[in-house]
């Protein structure tokens, strides 16, 4: 077994949920735990979020919802997009709440709910207010709402929309909130009342008070990360992920040697180069070594000595006395130093969401609470 793993601080997730809940009250919080809990582990993240006061959970796939149910989760679970028709049976059997936006899919849910004797089955209607990914435009959505309301086998429990630029465009986001609110008022005028309206993601929840509505669907924030450095600056968030390995080989190389594939970069001076068993197959981007990526060893930063390979990296530690077995931190804190997922994202011209989601199943997750 390689000495490489991901540490996840469950107390950090719980504390982040509590902090965000306090900031958005009286709105409730729906913890988004799709994509294996953004790389943190879905079941463990869900239970930590529940301990922090989350009242809903959200996933992208029926299979993700089933995993949570099998893992002992009994909160309402939203499925954020319509699944395939052949997945509706499992969705209903496991009491997962779909977000809907197509007439045929709505009918299929009603039929299976009737067959499974789970009527009226709750659904949430997605209104497209500008994201243009999935959802029904308001003129179509009103017809779908009438369809659901007229079907005794269904309950229109909620309406929703999604923000594409909550972290960057206040005016556009405000227009989206107004459009969803207007839609809810139109429903009410027709005698169609819904229990929940929800729209806000992490940025929407923290920076747009009017967007919080009945609950906010918070993803990246519960894991201690922000969509932008400015998002929710008054709310303390603690990163929950630490990506860790250990030195497995130490060698001294003369100046001019070019370690790793491609021999792309000569050592500027005689250096000790150490090998660490973590690579791009685990989620360390190959380009990181070209863009100034660093790791932590004994509380100090060290650069890559050459190209990231599939299973291993080489690190230039200069003249420092580093030994086999020394801990290497790729993301997280060691001593007073810290490498963050946002730092990687900035170097790679991407977002911290992608960084934490890309760590694969070869890395076991080790869960702990606080300093234990």
Active-site residues, by number, are 34, 261
* Closest to 69 in 3D by CA, of 87, 42, 49: 42
Strand locations in the chain (E) = 5-9, 28-32, 56-59, 77-79, 97-100, 121-126, 154-160, 196-198, 215-218, 241-246, 249-253, 271-276, 294-297, 300-303, 313-316, 327-334, 337-339, 365-368
Residue pair 193/148 in contact (Cβ under 8 Å)? The answer is: no
To which residue do tokens 């923000």 refer?
A: 163
Distance CA(357)–CA(372), nearest Å, equals 25
Distance CA(101)–CA(176), nearest Å, equals 17
Distance CA(205)–CA(81), nearest Å, equals 21
């Amino acid at each position: 077994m390689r000495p490489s793993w991901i540490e996840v601080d469950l107390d950090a997730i719980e504390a982040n949920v509590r902090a965000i809940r306090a900031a958005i009250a009286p709105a409730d919080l729906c913890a988004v735990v799709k994509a294996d809990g953004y790389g943190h582990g879905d079941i463990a993240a869900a239970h930590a979020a529940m301990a922090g006061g989350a009242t809903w959970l959200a996933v992208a796939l029926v299979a993700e919802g089933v995993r949570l149910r099998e893992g002992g989760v009994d909160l309402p679970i939203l499925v954020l997009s319509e699944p395939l028709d052949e997945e509706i049976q499992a969705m209903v059997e496991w009491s997962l709440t779909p977000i809907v936006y197509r007439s045929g899919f709505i009918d299929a849910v009603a039929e299976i709910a009737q067959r499974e004797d789970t009527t009226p089955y709750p659904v949430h209607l997605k209104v497209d207010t500008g994201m243009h990914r999935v959802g029904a435009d308001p003129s179509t959505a009103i017809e779908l709402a009438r369809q659901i309301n007229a079907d005794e086998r269904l309950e229109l429990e909620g309406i929703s929309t999604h923000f594409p630029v909550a972290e960057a465009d206040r005016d556009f986001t405000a227009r989206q909130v107004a459009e969803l609110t207007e839609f809810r008022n139109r429903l009410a005028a027709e005698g169609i009342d819904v229990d929940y309206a929800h729209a806000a993601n992490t940025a929407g929840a923290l920076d747009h008070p009017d967007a919080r509505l009945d609950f906010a669907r918070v993803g990246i924030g519960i894991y201690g990360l922000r969509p932008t450095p400015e998002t929710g600056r008054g709310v303390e968030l603690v990163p929950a992920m630490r990506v860790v390995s250990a030195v497995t080989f130490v060698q001294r190389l003369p100046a001019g040697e070019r370690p790793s594939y491609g021999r792309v970069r000569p050592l500027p001076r005689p250096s000790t180069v150490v090998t660490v068993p973590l690579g791009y197959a685990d989620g360390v981007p190959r380009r990181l070594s070209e863009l100034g990526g660093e790791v932590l060893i004994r509380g100090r930063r060290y650069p890559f000595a050459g190209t990231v390979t599939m299973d291993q990296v080489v690190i230039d530690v200069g003249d420092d006395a580093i030994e086999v077995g020394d801990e290497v931190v790729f993301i997280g804190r060691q001593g007073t130093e810290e490498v963050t997922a946002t730092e990687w994202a900035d170097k790679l011209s991407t977002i911290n969401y992608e960084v934490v989601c890309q760590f694969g199943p070869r890395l076991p997750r080790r869960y702990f609470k606080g300093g234990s």
